[in-house]
């Protein structure tokens, strides 16, 4: 964690502007530099990207995207929070693709019930696994549907996030009686593109 990230967390920079710098972007060639936000209990979320000599582009629907701006020159890029709030508390990362490196590859998404330790009788553990994607950063969330009505999965349901070098997963505990009435849908966002994968009623 950088000093600026720590000062944001303890509230000392609230109301001020702060910038984060990322060097070595001359190795990116003509490819874009993407800035990411990582909060403690969440997966990486892309904020914006910027091309060499260009203006920042914000296609990722980040809820705080209007709070950020970015600049880039030949050898570095900077991300600026225009007016710091406590909910900006996070770690910030930049990334790019070198010329000749992998192109974007969308994730393979699998939704299935899994056995977990400590699972309460009457609950089903639903896992949404995203794998084989490039870049390897994704955002996974759950929602549910009853008839034509969709809504976010209830906040009181427990879930666990797992992340590896080539895959990410979110396991959510859902009461079996709820699965009789709702279809759960996993939503994976990768490089600004959303993929939705539903799961039919399942039991372990």
Residue 102 lies in a domain: no
Residue 177 lies in a domain: yes
Residues in the chain: 204
- Which of 41, 64, 96 delimits the end of a domain? 96
Tell if the pTM clears 0.85, that is, is over it: no
- Which of 36, 69, 96 delimits the end of a domain? 96
Residue-range definition of the domain harbouring residue 187:
108-199
- The pLDDT assigned to 201 comes to 40
| Mean pLDDT, the chain, whole residue set | 82
Q: Give tens-digit pLDDT for 119-129.
A: 567 888 899 99
- The pLDDT assigned to 9 comes to 54
Of 166 and 64, the structure prediction assigns the larger pLDDT to 64
- The pLDDT assigned to 202 comes to 40
CATH number, domain with residue 158: 2.60.40.10
- Which of 62, 96, 130 delimits the end of a domain? 96
What value does the mean pLDDT take over residues 24-30? 78
- The pLDDT assigned to 204 comes to 39
109 contacts 199 by C-beta, under 8 angstroms: no
Note every long-range contact of 56-59, with CB atoms under 8 Å and residues 24 or more positions apart, other chains counting: 57/32, 59/192
User: Both 79 and 128 in a single domain?
Assistant: no
Question: Is the pLDDT confidence value at 149 over 70?
Answer: yes
The tally of domains found in the chain comes to 2
């Amino acid at each position: 964690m950088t000093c600026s990230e720590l000062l944001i967390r303890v509230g000392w920079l609230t109301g001020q502007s702060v910038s984060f710098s990322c060097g070595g972007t001359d190795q990116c060639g003509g490819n874009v530099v993407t800035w990411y936000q990582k909060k403690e209990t969440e997966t990486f979320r892309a904020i914006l990207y910027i091309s060499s000599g260009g203006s920042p582009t914000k296609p990722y629907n980040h809820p705080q995207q209007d709070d950020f701006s970015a600049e880039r020159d030949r050898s570095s890029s900077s991300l600026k929070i225009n007016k710091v709030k406590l909910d900006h508390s996070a770690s910030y990362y930049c990334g790019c693709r070198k010329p000749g490196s992998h192109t974007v590859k969308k994730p393979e998404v699998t939704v299935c019930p899994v056995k977990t330790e400590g699972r309460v009788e009457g609950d089903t553990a639903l896992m949404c696994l995203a794998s084989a994607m490039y870049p390897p950063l994704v955002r996974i969330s759950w929602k549910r549907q009853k008839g034509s009505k969709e809504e976010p999965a209830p906040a009181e349901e427990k879930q666990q996030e797992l992340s590896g070098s080539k895959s990410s997963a979110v396991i959510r505990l859902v009461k079996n009686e709820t699965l009789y009435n709702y279809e759960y849908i996993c939503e994976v966002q990768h490089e600004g593109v959303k993929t939705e994968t539903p799961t039919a009623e399942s039991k372990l």
